[in-house]
Amino acid sequence: MNNALKKAVEKINQLPTIPEVAQRVLGAIDSEHTSTSELESIIVNDPTIASKVLSVSRTTFFGGNKPPESIKEAIVRIGFGNVKNIAVGISLMTLFDDKKRHLLDYETIFKHSLDVAYVTAIINRKLKVQSKGDIFLSALLHDIGYLAINCYFQEQYKEVLKECLAGSQLSDAEVHVLGFTHSEIGAWLASVWKLPEVVIEVIKCHHDISGSKNFSREVALIHIADFIAANAFFYVFKNDNSLNINKIALKEFNLNEEEVAKLQLEVIETSFT
List contacts with Fe ion (CB under 5 A).
143, 226, 242
Type and span of the H or E element at 187:
helix 182-192
CB of 183 to Fe ion, least distance (A): 6
CB of 264 to Fe ion, least distance (A): 15
Residue 62 burial (CB count, 10 A): 15
The Cα angle at residue 100 between residues 242 and 92, in degrees rounded to 5: 60
| Dist. CA 193–CA 130, nearest whole Å | 26
For residue 236, what are the contacts with CB-CB under 8 A and spacing of at least 6?
104, 108, 109, 112, 143, 146, 230, 242
Residue closer to Fe ion, measured from CB, 34 or 108: 108
Residue closer to Fe ion, measured from CB, 40 or 226: 226
CB of 112 to Fe ion, least distance (A): 6
CB of 79 to Fe ion, least distance (A): 24
Length of the chain counted residue by residue: 273
Residue closer to Fe ion, measured from CB, 143 or 184: 143
| Dist. CA 80–CA 40, nearest whole Å | 10
CB of 169 to Fe ion, least distance (A): 12
Helices (H) and strands (E) in the chain, counts: 16, 0
| Dist. CA 221–CA 242, nearest whole Å | 13
